[in-house]
Structure 1
Amino acid sequence: MYSLTVADHVMIAHSFRGEAFGPAQRVHGATFVVEAEFRAPRLDDANLLVDIAAARVELRRILDGFDYSNLDELPAFAGQNTTTEFLCFHIHGLLSAALAEGKLGEGGRAVRSLKVLLRESPLAWAAYEAEVARAAAA
Protein backbone atom coordinates (compact mmCIF):
# COMPACT_ATOMS: atom_id res chain seq x y z
CA MET A 1 0.00 0.00 0.00
CA TYR A 2 1.38 3.41 -0.97
CA SER A 3 0.88 6.46 1.22
CA LEU A 4 1.38 10.16 0.80
CA THR A 5 0.95 12.79 3.51
CA VAL A 6 0.45 16.53 3.29
CA ALA A 7 0.32 18.87 6.26
CA ASP A 8 -0.76 22.38 7.22
CA HIS A 9 -1.91 24.11 10.39
CA VAL A 10 -4.95 25.90 11.73
CA MET A 11 -5.52 28.28 14.64
CA ILE A 12 -8.93 28.26 16.34
CA ALA A 13 -10.81 29.28 19.45
CA HIS A 14 -13.58 27.19 20.99
CA SER A 15 -15.14 26.00 24.22
CA PHE A 16 -16.66 22.72 25.33
CA ARG A 17 -19.93 21.88 27.03
CA GLY A 18 -19.92 19.42 29.91
CA GLU A 19 -18.26 19.15 33.27
CA ALA A 20 -15.91 16.46 31.93
CA PHE A 21 -14.04 19.28 30.16
CA GLY A 22 -13.21 21.22 33.34
CA PRO A 23 -11.56 24.56 32.55
CA ALA A 24 -11.83 23.89 28.79
CA GLN A 25 -15.49 24.83 29.14
CA ARG A 26 -14.21 28.40 28.90
CA VAL A 27 -13.23 29.81 25.51
CA HIS A 28 -9.63 28.90 24.75
CA GLY A 29 -7.36 28.74 21.74
CA ALA A 30 -5.58 25.93 19.98
CA THR A 31 -3.13 25.61 17.13
CA PHE A 32 -3.30 22.27 15.34
CA VAL A 33 -0.85 20.77 12.89
CA VAL A 34 -3.09 18.92 10.46
CA GLU A 35 -1.82 15.89 8.54
CA ALA A 36 -3.75 14.10 5.82
CA GLU A 37 -2.39 10.68 4.79
CA PHE A 38 -3.77 9.20 1.59
CA ARG A 39 -3.35 5.45 0.92
CA ALA A 40 -3.79 3.52 -2.31
CA PRO A 41 -2.73 0.08 -3.56
CA ARG A 42 -1.44 1.48 -6.85
CA LEU A 43 -0.08 4.61 -8.49
CA ASP A 44 -1.60 6.35 -11.49
CA ASP A 45 -0.08 6.34 -14.99
CA ALA A 46 2.32 9.14 -13.97
CA ASN A 47 3.39 7.15 -10.87
CA LEU A 48 1.53 9.47 -8.51
CA LEU A 49 -0.68 8.49 -5.61
CA VAL A 50 -2.34 11.92 -5.54
CA ASP A 51 -1.22 15.25 -6.90
CA ILE A 52 0.65 16.74 -3.92
CA ALA A 53 -0.04 20.32 -4.98
CA ALA A 54 -3.75 19.60 -5.37
CA ALA A 55 -3.83 17.82 -2.00
CA ARG A 56 -2.16 20.78 -0.30
CA VAL A 57 -4.52 23.26 -1.98
CA GLU A 58 -7.60 21.24 -1.00
CA LEU A 59 -6.46 20.80 2.59
CA ARG A 60 -5.81 24.55 2.83
CA ARG A 61 -9.22 25.32 1.29
CA ILE A 62 -10.88 23.16 3.95
CA LEU A 63 -8.88 24.71 6.78
CA ASP A 64 -9.61 28.23 5.51
CA GLY A 65 -13.25 27.49 6.34
CA PHE A 66 -12.48 27.78 10.05
CA ASP A 67 -8.89 29.04 10.48
CA TYR A 68 -8.62 32.01 12.87
CA SER A 69 -12.25 31.48 13.91
CA ASN A 70 -14.17 30.80 17.07
CA LEU A 71 -15.73 27.44 16.22
CA ASP A 72 -18.54 28.12 18.71
CA GLU A 73 -19.81 30.80 16.30
CA LEU A 74 -19.75 28.80 13.05
CA PRO A 75 -22.98 27.15 11.79
CA ALA A 76 -21.02 24.09 10.57
CA PHE A 77 -20.19 23.25 14.19
CA ALA A 78 -23.45 24.27 15.89
CA GLY A 79 -24.25 22.01 18.83
CA GLN A 80 -20.94 20.11 18.62
CA ASN A 81 -18.09 19.83 21.08
CA THR A 82 -15.31 20.52 18.59
CA THR A 83 -12.82 18.16 20.18
CA THR A 84 -9.64 17.25 18.37
CA GLU A 85 -11.18 13.88 17.51
CA PHE A 86 -14.32 15.50 16.10
CA LEU A 87 -12.29 17.90 13.96
CA CYS A 88 -10.35 14.94 12.51
CA PHE A 89 -13.65 13.34 11.50
CA HIS A 90 -14.95 16.62 10.03
CA ILE A 91 -11.84 17.20 7.91
CA HIS A 92 -11.82 13.54 6.83
CA GLY A 93 -15.35 13.91 5.45
CA LEU A 94 -14.47 17.01 3.45
CA LEU A 95 -11.29 15.47 2.02
CA SER A 96 -13.18 12.27 1.15
CA ALA A 97 -15.70 14.36 -0.80
CA ALA A 98 -12.86 16.13 -2.62
CA LEU A 99 -11.39 12.76 -3.61
CA ALA A 100 -14.76 11.56 -4.94
CA GLU A 101 -15.11 14.78 -6.94
CA GLY A 102 -11.69 14.27 -8.56
CA LYS A 103 -10.18 17.39 -6.98
CA LEU A 104 -6.92 15.58 -6.15
CA GLY A 105 -6.26 14.30 -9.65
CA GLU A 106 -7.00 10.99 -11.29
CA GLY A 107 -4.73 9.15 -8.86
CA GLY A 108 -7.02 10.29 -6.08
CA ARG A 109 -9.77 8.06 -7.43
CA ALA A 110 -7.67 5.02 -6.41
CA VAL A 111 -7.30 6.18 -2.80
CA ARG A 112 -8.78 3.50 -0.55
CA SER A 113 -8.24 5.02 2.88
CA LEU A 114 -7.49 8.35 4.44
CA LYS A 115 -6.12 9.23 7.85
CA VAL A 116 -6.48 12.74 9.26
CA LEU A 117 -4.31 13.52 12.27
CA LEU A 118 -4.37 16.72 14.34
CA ARG A 119 -1.42 17.45 16.62
CA GLU A 120 -2.37 19.66 19.57
CA SER A 121 1.14 19.59 20.95
CA PRO A 122 4.27 17.44 20.67
CA LEU A 123 2.73 15.33 23.45
CA ALA A 124 -0.91 14.94 22.35
CA TRP A 125 -2.73 14.26 19.09
CA ALA A 126 -5.78 12.51 17.72
CA ALA A 127 -6.66 10.91 14.39
CA TYR A 128 -9.54 9.55 12.39
CA GLU A 129 -8.92 6.89 9.77
CA ALA A 130 -11.41 5.18 7.47
CA GLU A 131 -11.91 3.90 3.98
CA VAL A 132 -13.11 6.45 1.45
CA ALA A 133 -16.02 6.03 -0.93
CA ARG A 134 -14.84 5.23 -4.44
CA ALA A 135 -16.15 7.13 -7.42
CA ALA A 136 -18.30 5.05 -9.77
CA ALA A 137 -15.66 5.21 -12.53
CA ALA A 138 -12.84 3.91 -10.31
Structure 2
Amino acid sequence: MTLPPEITDSHCHLDFPDFDGERDDIIARANAAGVTRMVTICTKLKNEPSVRAIAEAHRGVFYAAGTHPMSVAEEPMATVEELVALAKHPKFVGLGETGLDYHYTAESAEVQKTSLRLHIEAAQETGLPLIIHSRDA
Protein backbone atom coordinates (compact mmCIF):
# COMPACT_ATOMS: atom_id res chain seq x y z
CA MET A 1 0.00 0.00 0.00
CA THR A 2 1.37 3.40 -0.96
CA LEU A 3 0.81 6.18 1.51
CA PRO A 4 -0.05 9.65 0.22
CA PRO A 5 2.83 12.12 0.43
CA GLU A 6 3.05 14.31 3.49
CA ILE A 7 2.91 17.96 2.54
CA THR A 8 4.44 20.85 4.47
CA ASP A 9 3.11 24.36 3.90
CA SER A 10 6.34 26.19 4.62
CA HIS A 11 4.90 29.70 4.51
CA CYS A 12 1.47 30.77 5.66
CA HIS A 13 0.05 33.56 7.80
CA LEU A 14 -2.57 31.89 9.96
CA ASP A 15 -2.68 34.90 12.30
CA PHE A 16 -4.03 37.27 9.64
CA PRO A 17 -7.49 38.61 10.56
CA ASP A 18 -8.94 37.16 7.33
CA PHE A 19 -8.89 33.79 9.11
CA ASP A 20 -10.52 34.85 12.38
CA GLY A 21 -13.36 32.51 13.20
CA GLU A 22 -12.22 30.00 10.56
CA ARG A 23 -8.66 29.15 11.63
CA ASP A 24 -9.44 25.72 13.10
CA ASP A 25 -11.50 24.78 10.03
CA ILE A 26 -8.75 25.98 7.68
CA ILE A 27 -6.16 23.87 9.48
CA ALA A 28 -8.51 20.86 9.52
CA ARG A 29 -9.16 21.21 5.76
CA ALA A 30 -5.43 21.45 5.10
CA ASN A 31 -4.85 18.30 7.17
CA ALA A 32 -7.60 16.48 5.28
CA ALA A 33 -5.90 17.45 2.00
CA GLY A 34 -2.59 15.94 3.16
CA VAL A 35 -0.91 19.00 4.65
CA THR A 36 0.58 17.51 7.79
CA ARG A 37 2.80 20.44 8.79
CA MET A 38 2.42 24.21 8.47
CA VAL A 39 4.79 27.03 9.32
CA THR A 40 2.87 30.18 10.18
CA ILE A 41 5.00 33.29 9.81
CA CYS A 42 4.92 36.22 12.22
CA THR A 43 5.76 39.49 10.40
CA LYS A 44 5.69 41.87 13.39
CA LEU A 45 7.25 40.84 16.69
CA LYS A 46 4.42 42.46 18.65
CA ASN A 47 2.21 39.71 17.15
CA GLU A 48 4.53 36.86 18.19
CA PRO A 49 2.46 35.79 21.23
CA SER A 50 -0.66 35.22 19.11
CA VAL A 51 1.29 33.41 16.36
CA ARG A 52 2.98 31.22 18.98
CA ALA A 53 -0.44 30.44 20.50
CA ILE A 54 -1.70 29.21 17.12
CA ALA A 55 1.30 26.89 16.84
CA GLU A 56 0.87 25.65 20.40
CA ALA A 57 -2.83 24.90 19.81
CA HIS A 58 -2.26 22.69 16.75
CA ARG A 59 -0.04 19.60 16.61
CA GLY A 60 1.24 20.10 13.05
CA VAL A 61 1.63 23.88 13.16
CA PHE A 62 5.03 25.45 13.80
CA TYR A 63 6.05 29.09 13.62
CA ALA A 64 8.71 31.61 12.73
CA ALA A 65 8.99 35.25 13.70
CA GLY A 66 10.74 38.35 12.55
CA THR A 67 10.08 41.80 11.19
CA HIS A 68 8.88 42.03 7.61
CA PRO A 69 10.80 44.61 5.57
CA MET A 70 7.61 46.50 4.73
CA SER A 71 6.91 46.94 8.46
CA VAL A 72 10.39 47.59 9.77
CA ALA A 73 10.20 51.41 9.57
CA GLU A 74 7.12 51.49 11.84
CA GLU A 75 8.06 48.68 14.22
CA PRO A 76 10.63 48.67 17.03
CA MET A 77 13.92 47.24 15.76
CA ALA A 78 14.33 43.61 16.79
CA THR A 79 17.50 42.71 18.65
CA VAL A 80 19.59 39.62 18.12
CA GLU A 81 19.01 38.71 21.77
CA GLU A 82 15.24 38.98 21.34
CA LEU A 83 15.26 36.75 18.27
CA VAL A 84 17.58 34.20 19.89
CA ALA A 85 15.30 34.04 22.94
CA LEU A 86 12.26 33.35 20.74
CA ALA A 87 14.16 30.55 19.02
CA LYS A 88 14.23 28.54 22.25
CA HIS A 89 10.55 27.64 21.87
CA PRO A 90 10.19 24.02 20.66
CA LYS A 91 7.80 25.00 17.85
CA PHE A 92 9.95 27.89 16.61
CA VAL A 93 11.55 26.79 13.33
CA GLY A 94 12.84 29.88 11.52
CA LEU A 95 13.74 33.55 11.63
CA GLY A 96 11.75 36.00 9.59
CA GLU A 97 10.04 36.92 7.51
CA THR A 98 12.81 39.40 6.93
CA GLY A 99 14.55 40.77 3.88
CA LEU A 100 14.41 43.73 1.54
CA ASP A 101 11.42 45.23 -0.27
CA TYR A 102 12.09 48.28 -2.40
CA HIS A 103 8.90 48.02 -4.43
CA TYR A 104 6.64 49.83 -1.96
CA THR A 105 9.08 50.82 0.77
CA ALA A 106 12.33 51.88 -0.90
CA GLU A 107 12.51 54.92 1.38
CA SER A 108 13.26 52.60 4.32
CA ALA A 109 16.08 50.73 2.51
CA GLU A 110 18.73 51.48 5.13
CA VAL A 111 16.62 50.37 8.10
CA GLN A 112 15.61 47.24 6.14
CA LYS A 113 19.29 46.41 5.65
CA THR A 114 19.97 46.89 9.36
CA SER A 115 17.05 44.64 10.29
CA LEU A 116 18.11 41.96 7.80
CA ARG A 117 21.64 41.94 9.25
CA LEU A 118 20.23 41.43 12.78
CA HIS A 119 18.09 38.52 11.57
CA ILE A 120 21.11 37.00 9.79
CA GLU A 121 23.16 37.23 12.98
CA ALA A 122 20.38 35.56 14.99
CA ALA A 123 20.12 32.80 12.36
CA GLN A 124 23.86 32.22 12.53
CA GLU A 125 23.72 32.05 16.33
CA THR A 126 20.74 29.67 16.47
CA GLY A 127 21.40 27.60 13.36
CA LEU A 128 17.82 28.18 12.21
CA PRO A 129 16.90 29.06 8.63
CA LEU A 130 16.07 32.57 7.47
CA ILE A 131 12.75 33.24 5.80
CA ILE A 132 13.54 35.89 3.20
CA HIS A 133 11.22 38.32 1.49
CA SER A 134 12.82 40.07 -1.47
CA ARG A 135 11.10 42.36 -3.92
CA ASP A 136 12.78 44.82 -6.28
CA ALA A 137 15.85 44.80 -4.06
TM-score w.r.t. structure 1 length? 0.28
- Greater strand content: 1
Higher relative contact order (CA 8 A, sep 6+): 1
TM-score w.r.t. structure 2 length? 0.28
